[in-house]
Structure 1
């Protein structure tokens, strides 16, 4: 395919956004430019853009469309919007190496509580993090609750109880829901928690020492002893978690490592001078490094993430001022983009670069191992192509009700959660797993053919019967020789030679046209991968099935009662917290719910307890 010719004189010289469009009006690439004509000239003149993927892109481009904007900031915002909407294949695609969590606290509430969240929203609350380990931060919060006993549950839920919760009884909740602490005293606890999460332990300890001395002077020795224990807990926690101090402030530090056609980008998170962790991204396209870094910043910080005071970059960017204005406006406070040349900030950038190098080495060794694993799968199952994309399907139902299907996906040997799909069975009555599986496969392959997005291998949870269904559906779509089909049957429990004990056989894999199953040696990484994939498909299906069954149970339990519609059911769930709590509520507790008539409360109670 040859590159198209365009008349550059027809394109404007102002700032704006350009879209490169291929066959079937597919948007291949979106970019912004201060001078649109000059930017397009860099692509289409002889010599052109020197990036390796650009010739591949230009061979597919059939036309270029531009959108003119009044300012560069408008162009930047429009570019982000179009990239999110169309997900062009030639723009960088950030695939996280792990999921991070943050801690949220809303100071606008009378009695704020701590929450662990995975999304940072512009809702006026305070966010701390990000933290790489949800388990580790939960353990940290347990220690915080022992020192500063904030509430654990919602106020309304706790108020519906006759007495304070168990956390209050063990000293980890101050029970504001039952009036055990004033708003002013509770706010002191909140301030202490914020100081701890922001790394100001010394300030907290100093404040607590003053309280301890004051309580001791007033002969309140039990109170003084309690504060003394709090100080001891903080000091032990700080001693265990000591890390290098990088001078204070909140900073995100970026390091880049380039090797051939691959770039590894690493973010270090510095909060109040403490290094919290790192986050790494493999970037596949060969862009000019300044342009790649600018594109990464726009993509990453357009998400719901915590914005720091400073971004420390390995080199200066042409659009640093524009990015700083955009980030400051998004955060509501000033954000600075710096490319330090000396001092502590420069050492931080060098540390980020070393982390990027190390991450690239680790990812390379893992990638090589996954490549060998995929090659073994191709040879063992006689697949037509290397299985870069593997899909696994499972069906779940109980006595034919709420039947669902699940699809989980491996991309290059790694779970791709964003590609997971679940299907509510629409055309099958009763418990017919074969017909349900056929429906799910037809729906998936119909869309896959339309979007030209098909796997190299499909794994079915089941034996020869399920594999036969898969073969029939592949034949319908004329995909038999293009997609490898494999059925995984659960291991059998068989008696040993003496007939006294039982032993589990290995998982068996069935292939089309082959009588005997394929097996792997015990402990094989390939066997472990396929078992994990099958278990993930089963988990995903069961989870969805339980959600549907829970909704059905809730409807039959509440909505079939005359006088209880969707709005009242929602109000009852909000007041009591769950269907289980509603069923456990006494008649008096139901009658005390605001807005629920006494007669209806009696009817609900009789229905739920009949």
Structure 2
């Protein structure tokens, strides 16, 4: 972008959008003074960031939006980044990795729910946990100490007897009247205190109830309470306690090396370190803007916001960030860069975690690169397969055909790039034609968007490989993309003919008569097998979902008086078609919003369809 008249841009606060010739947004930024900020991009010295030089070569126009305050600019920037997903902005693609525990005290018998979105709905939230396995471990301890119910009451009450969790002592079965509301409330208060870090309060409460039970000669109850105290004490001993002011804090550490930045986040809740997460960003912007952009993206999602955020340094817009975080949380959030004491030690520890995560990631990256080089050499590819894609087709006797595409970038699965395809032009069980349609659609779009794979792996032998070769010829991509087919191992008789053996996986390449065999048990074979298996899993999972939805829709739609709204009403109430079939007429009539006549029609139709002819 040349000969820019900077005087036409306002000096107010606001947001700027840098666009390429086609109108696509390349970068979104905010500024206290738009003209001054844009001037830095066009100064003789340049912006100073390596990626900006590449960005400015592609910018065709700049659009500005003026706001009244810096906070409004920050909010607008966040909104526009989510809308446009610009290539040169930070984009954290791990929205599904954070889980929290939700407890709604307004319910008669509250229970813990694992959720991925934190809403301001009046319920209590605990976390975040970076993996579902961490939540499972936490819940295992909680249910062992405080046996809350596991499922919604309407589901539990439809059972004839309490569930298995009641049998093993991890549920108190309020659905069947095995515990009073008052006693259940004691359990809930214990869970809240335990998850809030107030273990001493919980232990004192249980010990008092234990003494009362013993004095009343209820020795079995006293023994159960004694076991609860021991379980809590054992759990607390395994946790690392930090004496750094207590409360909920997120601690950020940063490590920069070359063109990469590693950011580590420590989650401290009520003075206890509960989890850690790290992010690798290949970014060359200055640290101030990097940290500010990262915090916006990180807390712009539906996750728990702590009382304080500790940083290695304060970005220039820290006051605006603090105000924005406070609005999202509903109370004040402190942003601080401590210089001494225990809180500074926590920030330094986060920095060491960032360094270790960078080193560990580097070691894994080097190992993966060696594997990719082996794949390139053994299969005689023209380039290193940094972006690998694998396709698979799934159907049952030609019905509900779907295709799947899974992606590995630098040897690691890139789940955000996975895609499903509904087969549009093929009828019946023609896997070759379905594969041709799916690959053509994928590569045609890739040509338009400028994102193509280095290597495509097809689940199949020479036939599937020929289909893929024809599509590449048609699109003129023979020299741009390497391809191979992976054929499942064959079962063959051994030399005596009395037993069977499995042959090795075979890889077929265009122009080569004999298949390529990779070393059994080797990392290269494992990586390609995993890619093939992931494509198959992804296709099968989606196919089952499509088939189930279609079967369910076709069955209920045949019932007179049942349309889309009432179908959803029945499913929401019962959970599945099987449970609707098993429901009595009285249970169907109890569904809120379902007319009595329709309930009778549903019951009659489903039971008539179950009757053998």
Q: Same fold (TM over 0.5)?
A: yes
Residue of structure 1 in register with 2:341 after alignment: 343
CA drift at 1:593: 4.8
**SS across alignment from 2:472:** helix
Q: Is the 8 A contact 2:378 2:518 kept in 1?
A: no
Give CA deviations for 1:165-185 in whole Å, capped at 9, x if unaligned.
333343322223234434343
| Distance in 2 of aligned mates of 1:246 and 1:398 | 60
* Match of residue 602 from structure 1: 604
Unaligned runs of 5+ in 1: none
For residues 310-329 of structure 1, the aligned pairs below 5 Å read: 310-329=308-327
Q: CA deviation at 1:586?
A: 4.6
Is 2:201 the partner of 1:203? yes
State the secondary structure of the residue aligned to 2:22. Answer: helix
Report the alpha carbon displacement of residue 588 of structure 1 after superposing the two structures with TM: 5.5
Query: C-alpha displacement at 1:162, in angstroms?
Result: 3.2
Measure how far apart 1:95 and its partner are.
4.6
| Contact 1:19 1:29 (C-alpha < 8 Å) held by counterparts | yes
Say if 1:226 and 1:207 are closer, same or farther in 2 by CA, change over 3 A.
same
Indicate how the Cα distance of structure 1 residues 97 and 63 shifts in structure 2: closer, same or farther if over 3 A, else same.
closer
Measured after TM superposition, the shift of residue 64 of structure 1 is 1.6
The alpha-carbon deviation at position 98 of structure 1 amounts to: 9.1
Q: Secondary structure at the match of 1:444?
A: helix
Residue of structure 2 in register with 1:381 after alignment: 379
Q: Is the 8 A contact 1:97 1:279 kept in 2?
A: no
Equivalent residue for 2:473?
475
1:510 counterpart residue number: 508
Which blocks of at least 5 consecutive residues in structure 2 are unaligned?
none
Shift of 1:408: 0.4
Residue 23 of structure 1: SS of its match in structure 2? coil
Cα distance change, pair 191–609 in 1 and its aligned pair in 2 (3 A):
farther
2:236 maps to 238
Q: Is the 8 A contact 2:435 2:467 kept in 1?
A: yes
Aligned pairs for 1:160-171 (under 5 A) are 160-171=158-169
SS in 2 for 1:186: helix
1:571 positional shift: 2.4
- 1:252: which partner in 2? 250
Which residue pairs with 2:265 in the alignment?
Answer: 267
Q: Check whether the contact 2:243–2:342 (CA below 8 A) recurs between aligned residues.
A: no
User: Which residue of the partner structure matches residue 466 of structure 1?
Assistant: 464
Is the CA contact (8 Å cut-off) linking 1:51 and 1:288 kept in structure 2?
Answer: yes
Are the counterparts in 2 of residues 467 and 512 from structure 1 also a CA contact under 8 Å? Answer: yes
Cα distance, 1:404 vs structure 2? 0.6
Contact 1:17–1:31 (8 Å) recurs in 2: yes
Aligned equivalent of 1:452:
450
Per the alignment, residue 299 of structure 1 pairs with 297
TM-score normalized by the length of structure 1: 0.96
Contact kept, 8 Å, 1:4 with 1:59, in 2: the verdict is: no
Contact 1:216 1:224 in 2 (8 A): yes
Q: 2:547 aligns with which of 537, 549, 555?
A: 549
The whole-number CA distance in structure 2 between the counterparts of 1:262 and 1:169 is 53
SS of equivalent residue, structure 1 residue 25: coil
1:583 aligns with 2:581: yes
Q: Which stretch of structure 1 is more off in the superposition, 121-130 or 58-67?
A: 121-130
Cα distance, 1:338 vs. partner? 0.5
The 1-side partners of 2:372 and 2:73 are apart by 42
Taking the TM superposition and a 5 Å limit, the aligned residue runs for 1:86-235 are 86-96=84-94, 99-235=97-233
Aligned partners of 2:95 and 2:301 also within 8 Å: no
- Cα displacement string for residues 529-557 of structure 1 (whole angstroms, at most 9, x for unaligned residues): 11001000000000011011111221343
Residues 131-162 of structure 1: CA deviation (Å, up to 9, x unaligned): 23422421331231232121111111122233
* C-alpha distance in 2 between matches for 1:418 and 1:609: 46
Query: Cα–Cα, structure 1 residues 139 and 285, in superposed 2: closer, same or farther, change >3 Å?
Result: closer
Specify whether residues 573 and 487 from structure 1 end up closer, same or farther in structure 2 by C-alpha distance, changes over 3 A only: same
SS at match of 1:28: strand
Is residue 495–residue 503 contact of structure 1 (8 Å, CA) maintained in 2? yes
Given that residues 96 and 280 in structure 1 are in contact (C-alpha distance below 8 angstroms), is that contact kept between their aligned partners in structure 2?
A: no
Asked if the contact 1:462/1:487 (under 8 Å) is kept, the reply is yes
Deviation at 1:352, TM superposition (A): 0.5
Shift of 1:604: 2.5
The alpha-carbon deviation at position 559 of structure 1 amounts to 2.2
What secondary structure sits across from 1:24 in the alignment? coil
Secondary structure (helix, strand or coil) at the match of 2:605 reads helix
Indicate how the Cα distance of structure 1 residues 376 and 97 shifts in structure 2: closer, same or farther if over 3 A, else same: farther
Cα deviations across residues 33-58 of structure 1 (Å, max 9, x unaligned)?
10111111111021131112221111
1:563 aligns to 2:561 (yes or no): yes
Find the counterpart in structure 2 of residue 363 from structure 1: 361
Please give the alpha-carbon distance, in whole angstroms, between the structure 1 residues aligned to 2:54 and 2:563: 58
Determine the structure 2 residue equivalent to 1:26.
Answer: 24
Which piece of structure 1 moves more, 159-168 or 334-343?
159-168
The question of whether the paired residues in 2 share the 8 Å contact of 1:255 and 1:356 is answered with yes
The 5 A counterparts of 1:381-400 are: 381-400=379-398
Name the CA shift for 1:507/1:98 in 2 (closer, same or farther; >3 Å): farther
Root-mean-square deviation over aligned CA pairs = 1.9
How far did residue 394 of structure 1 move?
Answer: 0.2
Distance across 1 between alignment mates of 2:96 and 2:123: 24
Normalising to structure 2: TM-score of the pair?
0.95
Please state how far the C-alpha of 1:590 moved relative to its aligned partner: 4.4
